[in-house]
Structure 1
Amino acid sequence: MAESPVAEPAMAQDTALVSEEQSEQQQQLEPVKKTKKIIRKKRRPARVQVDPSEIKSEQPPQTGDLFNIWYSKWSGGDREDRFGLNTPAPTRCDPIKDSGYTKADRVTGSFFCLYFAKGTCCKGADCEYLHRLPTIHDLFNPNVDCFGRDKHSDYRDDMGGVGSFQRQNRTLYVGRIHVSDGIEEIVARHFAPWGEIARTRVLTGRGVAFVTYVNEANAQFAKEAMSHQSLDDNEILNVRWATVDPNPMAQKREARQLEEQAAEAVRRALPAAFVAEIEGRDPEAKKRKKIEGSFGLDGYDVPDDVWHARTRQLESAPEAAQLEAPEEQLMIEPSYAQPEPEAQNGIFSSATVAALRGLAGGNVKTQAASKPSGPLVAYGSDDESD
């Protein structure tokens, strides 16, 4: 009996429903792959801080008879405003808005823009210097600062200027502060945008603050950025380099921080696996050290001083000695009889004759020296009687 045409669409629908259920079950059983979308934010070009048309090319007025290149100012006639603190800074840098890429980002080892730090750069993205804040990865020659200016052997008398290359100074002296409630928080808030601060100290009785940065380049940048600026009040700050703290605890803390900074630079330069092995954070290195340091003795745990002494010995040895295995000395060595020296009857020694016989296949014949005869038998003696 033939099936009715009405039953065929119903069977097709049932088959389609079963296939859909099977596909849904397979999708539930299969693990869902999670894809992480990476959004890369493009850096913006550096912003023009000052309109080029507003820049005046006129030279500053002459306030003295002689221009001092060491202090970069005229000597004489400036007794009333010795440090130029009566004139506030016309502009101020905003590192969040003004930072951006310039032509210097394409060149490795570029310096930072001094005018950008002061907020007066008119070139923007066309500037040949960096328009951003220094980081710990920015390393420069100790003879220059982050702006590329040459340092001197000693500080100026007023502790201003570029600084000295004989000392790594990360502390700024900030004078002429108007002391108020919460002055420490105010000082930290105004100096924090220029880099990570390690320590801040305010002498409320003298209106002076000392700000220490983690990185020296950030201290150099902040000195120029905060020079002649003001805090919450309308004061004009006197920002200079700080002298050496006479406190022994402060000197030890400074030396420890420099050591930690140098160690961090070494960690960043070496591979991570090698650093983990040196610091003892690699379990596989500990097992390998335990196996190699047993010196072939089961159950022997080598002390650290013996291990380090063996390591220094291998490092000081030449490469050939490191590649070759050391010779094992036997406890009882066989004694070999020393051959007696043969009498030499001719021009060549016995060893030379043996070598010649080996080359010639044993066909070399030697002729013994003939005994002298004649009237000059004993001639050659030192005895005058002969």
Structure 2
Amino acid sequence: MAEVQDPPAATPTTLEAPEASESSTALALAPVTDEKTIITTNAEGKRVKKIIRRKRRPAPPQVDPATFKIDNKPPPTGTIFNIWYNKWSGGDREDAALSKTAAPSRCIVSKHSGYTRADSTPGSYFCLFFARGLCPKGFECQYLHRLPSVTDIFPSNVDCFGRDKFSDYRDDMGGVGSFQRQNRTLYIGRIHVTDDIEEIVARHAAEWGEIERVRVLTARGVGFVTYVNESNAQFAKEAMAHQALDNGEVLNVRWATADPNPLAQKREARRIEEQAAEAIRKALPAAYVAEIEGRDPEQKKRRKIEGSFGLQGYEAPDDVWAAKEKAEWEYAKLGAPEQNLMIEGRQQEQEYEQVEDAQVQAPAGILSGSTLAALKGYKAAAAPKQPPTQQGGGLLVGYDSDDSD
């Protein structure tokens, strides 16, 4: 399971030129056109803008399908073949001479690149055999036959060829790599030392993408190449393996270990933060980003006024301001419930104001102001009159006693 891509089993009948097979399904693909803008000066001295559009040609086969052989396993140097690391184990130590065998083919981007079936499928991976110069399918391939660009972004657990990464690097820093660190630096060994060694390494490494930094140790014959995009580093590792520069050497290309230089570590951490910040900027609205970064003076002035919350000289921090805006957004989303809450709250405020006014206007006495305010609307009901008695009148009417005296 060292590689996700299936070996290219090509058939000669499907590898005809596009002009010779007009009914081929590959021709149903819309060829991608390259657009190039050139600004020149005409005879009158005026600047003229020219737009050149060129139709991309289909990807040609890199090798002859009749002579193509599928052999993914390296020469046996042990008793057990590890499918995860694509190497033999359990035997003697690997022969160093086996890794010095030159690659049978080489990818030439200007000659072999072109559109394939994968160009019509978003999120397609790159062809591993195209990077090694071994793909016999041409425009019938299900993977991309071109160089990676900055817009080609893949999950962190796979590389640009669709192969699964591992938690740790191999002992020899080869293989697919690790998903725990974003590695854009390649170690290139066995370089023939010359006076212009740094220029040679930079020229050959630039074939596979934009380079950020090149460092060559002349005394040891090794170099370190850092690419701007991680996908270009993954592509270059496969494309430069066992290749030669200008003096017939066989390169040893591996992943570079972490730079122990504190300045380099800070630079890499800053670059990752900037990349994350750029991703956040693209996810948030442009007006909100401009307000946060202080590029919108009106929004900045509004925040300074409203962020004081009525307190002179107070400026609310970002978390408080974010909580305020979130609450306003939730209230605006609710709509009608917010208005009901406002009406109920206003009624309660009016009742409290009436009670407070009654307490203030009430004179001092035994009863409190709230009691007097409650008694203002109270009306005492008259007691029912009892009918008069039929006995004699007088003050002692109805008087009786057991004593006869």
TM-score by length of 1: 0.68
Coordinate RMSD, CA, aligned? 3.4
- Counterpart of 2:355 in 1: which secondary structure? coil
- Tell me the equivalent position of 1:358: none
- Tell me the equivalent position of 2:385: none
- Tell me the equivalent position of 1:216: 230
Distance in 2 between residues matched to 1:316 and 1:58, nearest whole Å: 60
- Tell me the equivalent position of 1:122: 136
Displacement of 1:58 in angstroms is 6.2
Q: Structure 1 residue aligned with 2:208, among 171, 194, 198?
A: 194
Distance 1:205 1:38, change over 3 A: closer
Distance 1:184 1:38, change over 3 A: closer
2:94 aligned partner, one-letter code: R
Q: Structure 2 residue aligned with 1:73, among 50, 67, 87?
A: 87
Distance 1:268 1:102, change over 3 A: farther
- Counterpart of 1:155 in 2: which secondary structure? coil
> Aligned pair 1:48/2:48, yes or no?
no
1:73-222 pair list within 5 angstroms: 73-75=87-89, 76=91, 79-81=94-96, 84-222=98-236
Distance in 2 between residues matched to 1:320 and 1:154, nearest whole Å: 45
Distance 1:302 1:177, change over 3 A: farther
- Tell me the equivalent position of 2:25: none
Distance in 2 between residues matched to 1:111 and 1:186, nearest whole Å: 30
Displacement of 1:212 in angstroms is 0.9
Distance 1:57 1:240, change over 3 A: closer
1:311 aligned partner, one-letter code: W
Q: Structure 2 residue aligned with 1:257, among 271, 276, 300?
A: 271
Displacement of 1:36 in angstroms is 7.9
- Tell me the equivalent position of 2:327: 317
Distance 1:39 1:198, change over 3 A: closer
Q: Which moved more, 1:136-145 or 1:265-274?
A: 265-274
Distance in 1 between residues matched to 2:68 and 2:53, nearest whole Å: 37
Maintained 8 Å contact 1:294/1:301: no
Maintained 8 Å contact 1:290/1:301: no
- Tell me the equivalent position of 1:290: 301
Displacement of 1:163 in angstroms is 0.6
Maintained 8 Å contact 1:294/1:302: no
Displacement of 1:256 in angstroms is 1.2
Distance 1:162 1:286, change over 3 A: same
What stretches of structure 2 of length at least 5 have no aligned partner?
1-47, 359-369, 375-405
1:264-321 deviation digits (Å, cap 9, x = unpaired) = 334445565554444333xxx3124324643499xx9988x53746532323426444
Distance in 1 between residues matched to 2:51 and 2:193, nearest whole Å: 48
1:289-368 pair list within 5 angstroms: 289-291=300-302, 293-295=304-306, 305-306=315-316, 308=318, 311-317=321-327, 319-321=329-331, 333-336=353-356, 338=370
Distance 1:36 1:200, change over 3 A: closer
Distance in 1 between residues matched to 2:320 and 2:72, nearest whole Å: 69
Maintained 8 Å contact 2:291/2:299: no
What stretches of structure 1 of length at least 5 have no aligned partner?
1-34, 343-386
Displacement of 1:181 in angstroms is 0.6
Distance in 1 between residues matched to 2:249 and 2:307, nearest whole Å: 75
Displacement of 1:132 in angstroms is 1.1
Maintained 8 Å contact 2:208/2:235: yes
1:28-70 deviation digits (Å, cap 9, x = unpaired) = xxxxxxx988553222211211111121246765444321223
Count of residue pairs the alignment pairs up? 300
Maintained 8 Å contact 1:177/1:237: yes
Distance in 2 between residues matched to 1:130 and 1:223, nearest whole Å: 17
Distance in 2 between residues matched to 1:200 and 1:128, nearest whole Å: 34
- Counterpart of 2:99 in 1: which secondary structure? coil
2:355 aligned partner, one-letter code: S
Distance 1:165 1:296, change over 3 A: closer
2:324 aligned partner, one-letter code: L
1:14-29 pair list within 5 angstroms: none
- Tell me the equivalent position of 1:279: 293
1:50 aligned partner, one-letter code: V
Distance in 2 between residues matched to 1:59 and 1:136, nearest whole Å: 30
1:310-353 deviation digits (Å, cap 9, x = unpaired) = 532323426444576988989x944356579x9xxxxxxxxxxx
Distance 1:66 1:308, change over 3 A: closer
1:20-39 pair list within 5 angstroms: 39=52
Q: Percent of aligned positions with the same letter in both sequences?
A: 61
Maintained 8 Å contact 1:85/1:237: no
Q: Structure 2 residue aligned with 1:229, among 223, 239, 243?
A: 243
TM-score by length of 2: 0.65
Distance 1:321 1:71, change over 3 A: closer
Distance in 1 between residues matched to 2:154 and 2:214, nearest whole Å: 25
- Counterpart of 2:100 in 1: which secondary structure? coil
Maintained 8 Å contact 2:100/2:250: yes
Distance in 2 between residues matched to 1:296 and 1:167, nearest whole Å: 41
